[in-house]
Amino acid sequence: MLNPDLRELLKNNTSRYSLVIAVAKRARTIAEDPILNEKCGTEKQVSYALEEFLDGKLEIKEPEEIRNI
């Protein structure tokens, strides 16, 4: 099970809310796409999406109003 440090995930002033929403949306996209779903193999889609975020493949764009909430 993937258990990254929350400070590491939020180092770019990303709010927790934005992180959860972005990873959930990406996981849904992975689950709906048969090629991507096969690519993640036995790993859960949420873990795969979170790894993409940690690797810099997934970028979160959020409005200034909700930063640092």
Q: What is the pLDDT of residues 30-49, one digit of tens each?
A: 999 999 888 888 788 998 99
pTM (global) more than 0.85: no
4 or 29: which carries more pLDDT confidence?
29
Q: What are phi and psi of 12, to 5 degrees?
A: -95, 30
Distance CA 62, CA 22 (A): 10
Distance of alpha carbon 25 from the chain centroid: 8
Distance CA 5, CA 31 (A): 25
pLDDT above 70 for 69: no
pLDDT above 90 for 65: no
Q: Which helix (H) or strand (E) holds 43?
A: none
